[in-house]
A and B are shown apart, each in its own frame.
Chain A
Amino acid sequence: MGVISTTILVIGGIGVLAAIVLYFVAKKFYVYENPKIAEIEELLPGANCGGCGMSGCHAFAKACAETDSLDGFNCTGAGKDIMEKISVIVGLEAKAGIRRVAVMKCNGGCSERQIVNNYDGVTSCAMEGALYQGETDCNYGCLGRGDCVASCIFDALHIDSESGIAVVDHEKCVGCGKCVKTCPRGLLELVPVIDDKPIVWVTCMNHDKGALAMKECTISCIGCGKCKRVCEHGAVDVEDFVAHINPELCVGCGECEAACPRGSITHIGDLIPTKKEAES
């Protein structure tokens, strides 16, 4: 009996003592945090993707709770109404955020771009791209080693097993922009998704002169400028032998895609018929 009661007393005493110490330490080092921060953080996806421009979800929640105006704040990862919900919490006006998605500006798979040498090294676009031109003659196209795939935390990118190049899953993409920063050849671009307007873009970044670009890939942009001429909205620019479509000006008619002799313009979503087409 004596042994048992002593044991209970000693262990119980240690427990009580520890609890008292913990209580005072917790009091002493208590840091006040705005309860709104926790509330906002609840709503956020918690992926820490950095698409908002902050270092992570907590930083974004903190910034939202402490700011005077929600202008420019946008969580790309959590869907359209997230900013509304946040605005209710912090009691500030908020514009609905623009959703962005990444588009891939190379479509030259192994059937379009001939492989002319073998790379034997670490599977990494950054390393291969720093070493040399890559396995094909195109110095600008997708290397297909999957640096962007590794960078994507939303599983929205994968290397197509047939063509060997990276493909964006536009449904899953939240537009955080990690892949854009990762790709050593700058092949990914964030474009805004505005209502139901389709996205039309040029799937080539080959800056070589037309004749060369033609040899290097069967679907390369040769900078002929046909797309620029057919565009009624001035959305297409041709610079350094590559066309680029300005997503702000583009209305999504798809005229340029139809005009492209090389098949290097593509789109997602339903094209909006032009006036002419609508009339006829």
Chain B
Amino acid sequence: MKLKTFRKGGIHPAPSKLTSGMPIVEIGVSSEIRLELAESIGVPARCIVKPGQSVSAGEMIAEAAAFVSAPVHSPVAGTVKRIEKLRDPQGFWREAVVIATEHIETAVDEAEEALSPRTQDEVDALTPKEIIDIVGNAGVVGLGGATFPTRVKLSIPEGKKAEVVILNGAECEPFLTCDEVLMCGYPDRIVAGCRLIMKAVGVDRAIIGIEANKPQAIAAFRRLLKGCDDISVQPLKMKYPQGGEKQLIYALTGKEVPEGGLPVDAGAVVDNVATAYAVYDAIYNRKPLTQRVVTVTGPHLKKPGNYLVKIGTTISSIIEAAGGLPEDTGKVIAGGPMMGKAMSRLDAPTTKAISGILVLPESMSKRRSEEPCIRCAKCVSVCPMGLEPYQMMNLSIAKRFEDITKLHVMSCLECGSCSYVCPSHRPLLDYIRYAKQEIRKMPKK
């Protein structure tokens, strides 16, 4: 079958999927769980527990504080120790709840026992509204990295109509394999989650887009979906950023999301495969989102792998489980190398946003020195959004933010392709981000 892809721009970084095909390994529960309240974009959740209070596994400890907000649940049974400000991986202070785990050894089993799964009949009886509410209360957020509350995504705005559900299994970021192992291991649950999403948004068609470098995952879905005509699997060309929401919609449906619009404007609802899995868990197993698969990887890491991690485990203990930081570590990144954020401190807790922990050696950590722009136009030709990064950088240096707005800077998805290809090693994306940040601060006209 012909591979589909997006039309303009894109780059081909080396995939470096070191942990491809490695099984999901569960790591031990730590004695202390730290849960940030701002687990999704939008408004941080409102804490509903008090210090000293005991909580059970899966109990909600903070409720959604607004429409765009997601509740937080305790992954373990234990006692609330403190509610305080903690530093996140970038060192910013965030409101957090610290829970002391009881029975560290048995914590996992307890969590399993507490649940009484819904039967298929019960699930079938759920209305779309009920599905959305359950998903919302389970704290499910987009697990691709943006952590957009899934409840909001499933609530189609008045006057708009979704036509197709797209499951994002592209995983175009180098190094990351967390979606791949999930797709190979639990295609049935992902498909079940997908059907629930389809029911919630009221469409009868879904496409699962998977980059062609994951043939096992594609085969697993093909086997499972033989004879089904509601969900199809579409292999995609290996090209970054294939998993960008707008790029994926274009590749799979040929429709472009209008500038400044939402996917639903192109008739699509896009969810990550891991999110579909979480939806499945929330509906069938009544399990809130309290754990996720994290790819811990790096060229010099002793035991790279795909680890099942409780949200709230400290990053350093996850790295410890993967063999500890190598001697020559220069940079630790939350997420993939193209869009992930470098961390300044490893004592911070895991959040729902962290899909990978990438440990880069010193030799790969430093940027090379900047040289003058030679106007080679490589940044223009790789930009998947059809922007002119070199121009935006120049204007950003000159602080001409009004003019940058005219170049549609807000359409930039920050994929980093421009900085990646620049032969002069110019920090194009740094300046574009700076411009976006300043423009957001400007008063709206």
Contact between A133 and B430, CB atoms less than 8 A apart: no
CB distance from B358 to the nearest CB of A (A): 16
Contact between B367 and A121, CB atoms less than 8 A apart: yes
Contact between B367 and A130, CB atoms less than 8 A apart: no
Contacts of A47-79 to chain B: CB distance below 8 A: none
Instruction: Kindly state the separation between the CA atoms of A95 and B367 in the bound complex, as whole angstroms.
Output: 55
Known contacts A121-B427, A127-B433, A127-B434; decide if A132 and B365 are in contact (CB<8 Å).
no
Contact with A along B69-106 (1 / 0, CB 8 A): 00000000000000000010011110000000000000
CB distance from A277 to the nearest CB of B (A): 42
CB distance from A30 to the nearest CB of B (A): 32
Known contacts A117-B344, A120-B366, A121-B367; decide if A131 and B90 are in contact (CB<8 Å).
yes
**Residues on B with beta carbons closer than 8 Å to the beta carbon of A134:** 91
Minimum CB distance partner of A138 in chain B: B91
Contact between B434 and A124, CB atoms less than 8 A apart: yes
Contact between B434 and A130, CB atoms less than 8 A apart: yes
Contact between A130 and B93, CB atoms less than 8 A apart: no
**Residues on B with beta carbons closer than 8 Å to the beta carbon of A127:** 430, 433-434
**Residues on A with beta carbons closer than 8 Å to the beta carbon of B16:** none
Interface size class of B (residues with CB under 8 A): 10 to 19
Contact with A along B248-284 (1 / 0, CB 8 A): 0000000000000000000000000000000000000
CB distance from B64 to the nearest CB of A (A): 27
Contact between A126 and B90, CB atoms less than 8 A apart: no
**Residues on B with beta carbons closer than 8 Å to the beta carbon of A122:** 427, 430-431, 434
**Residues on A with beta carbons closer than 8 Å to the beta carbon of B427:** 121-122
Minimum CB distance partner of B430 in chain A: A122
Contact between A133 and B366, CB atoms less than 8 A apart: no
**Residues on A with beta carbons closer than 8 Å to the beta carbon of B342:** 132
- Check: B127 CB closer than 8 A to any chain A CB: no
CB distance from A254 to the nearest CB of B (A): 33
Instruction: Kindly state the separation between the CA atoms of A133 and B367 in the bound complex, as whole angstroms.
Output: 20
**Residues on A with beta carbons closer than 8 Å to the beta carbon of B344:** 116-117, 132-133
Contact between A133 and B434, CB atoms less than 8 A apart: no
**Residues on B with beta carbons closer than 8 Å to the beta carbon of A131:** 90, 341
Contact with A along B360-381 (1 / 0, CB 8 A): 0000011100000000000000
Instruction: Kindly state the separation between the CA atoms of A223 and B430 in the bound complex, as whole angstroms.
Output: 36
**Residues on A with beta carbons closer than 8 Å to the beta carbon of B90:** 131-133
> Main SS of the interface on chain A?
loop
Contacts of A113-168 to chain B: CB distance below 8 A: 116-117, 120-122, 124, 126-127, 130-134, 137, 139
Instruction: Kindly state the separation between the CA atoms of A116 and B354 in the bound complex, as whole angstroms.
Output: 23
Contact between A130 and B437, CB atoms less than 8 A apart: yes
CB distance from B1 to the nearest CB of A (A): 42
Minimum CB distance partner of B434 in chain A: A127
Contact between A121 and B430, CB atoms less than 8 A apart: yes
**Residues on A with beta carbons closer than 8 Å to the beta carbon of B431:** 122
Contact between B92 and A133, CB atoms less than 8 A apart: yes
Contacts of B22-74 to chain A: CB distance below 8 A: none
- Interface contact tally, CB-CB below 8 A: 41
**Residues on A with beta carbons closer than 8 Å to the beta carbon of B365:** 120
Minimum CB distance partner of B427 in chain A: A122
Contacts of A82-123 to chain B: CB distance below 8 A: 116-117, 120-122
Minimum CB distance partner of A150 in chain B: B399
Instruction: Kindly state the separation between the CA atoms of A121 and B91 in the bound complex, as whole angstroms.
Output: 17
Minimum CB distance partner of B90 in chain A: A132
Contact partner, B367, options A120, A132, A137, A139, Cβ 8 Å: A120
Known contacts A117-B344, A120-B365, A133-B344; decide if A139 and B434 are in contact (CB<8 Å).
no
Minimum CB distance partner of B367 in chain A: A120
CB distance from B242 to the nearest CB of A (A): 26
CB distance from A257 to the nearest CB of B (A): 29
Instruction: Kindly state the separation between the CA atoms of A137 and B90 in the bound complex, as whole angstroms.
Output: 11
Instruction: Kindly state the separation between the CA atoms of A47 and B93 in the bound complex, as whole angstroms.
Output: 40
Task: Report which residue of A116, A122, A134 has the largest number of chain B beta carbons within 10 angstroms of its beta carbon.
Answer: A122
**Residues on A with beta carbons closer than 8 Å to the beta carbon of B437:** 126, 130
**Residues on A with beta carbons closer than 8 Å to the beta carbon of B341:** 131
Instruction: Kindly state the separation between the CA atoms of A139 and B91 in the bound complex, as whole angstroms.
Output: 8
**Residues on A with beta carbons closer than 8 Å to the beta carbon of B92:** 132-133, 139
Instruction: Kindly state the separation between the CA atoms of A120 and B330 in the bound complex, as whole angstroms.
Output: 11
Contact partner, B87, options A117, A120, A126, A133, Cβ 8 Å: A133
**Residues on B with beta carbons closer than 8 Å to the beta carbon of A120:** 365-367
**Residues on A with beta carbons closer than 8 Å to the beta carbon of B434:** 122, 124, 126-127, 130
Instruction: Kindly state the separation between the CA atoms of A181 and B92 in the bound complex, as whole angstroms.
Output: 22
Instruction: Kindly state the separation between the CA atoms of A117 and B433 in the bound complex, as whole angstroms.
Output: 22
Minimum CB distance partner of A131 in chain B: B90
Instruction: Kindly state the separation between the CA atoms of A238 and B315 in the bound complex, as whole angstroms.
Output: 36
CB distance from B187 to the nearest CB of A (A): 38
Q: Chain B residues in contact with chain A, CB under 8 A? A: 87, 90-93, 341-342, 344-345, 365-367, 427, 430-431, 433-434, 437-438
Q: Chain A residues in contact with chain B, CB under 8 A? A: 116-117, 120-122, 124, 126-127, 130-134, 137, 139
* A-B pairs, 9 with minimum CB distance: A133-B91, A132-B90, A117-B344, A122-B430, A132-B344, A127-B434, A132-B91, A122-B427, A120-B367
Q: Given A121-B430, A124-B434, 10 other A-B contacts at CB below 8 A?
A: A117-B344, A122-B430, A122-B431, A131-B341, A132-B90, A132-B92, A132-B342, A133-B90, A133-B91, A133-B92
| Sample (27) of A-B pairs whose CB atoms are under 8 Å apart | A117-B344, A120-B365, A120-B367, A121-B367, A121-B427, A121-B430, A122-B430, A122-B434, A124-B434, A126-B434, A126-B437, A126-B438, A127-B430, A127-B433, A130-B433, A130-B437, A131-B90, A131-B341, A132-B91, A132-B92, A132-B342, A133-B87, A133-B90, A133-B344, A133-B345, A134-B91, A137-B91
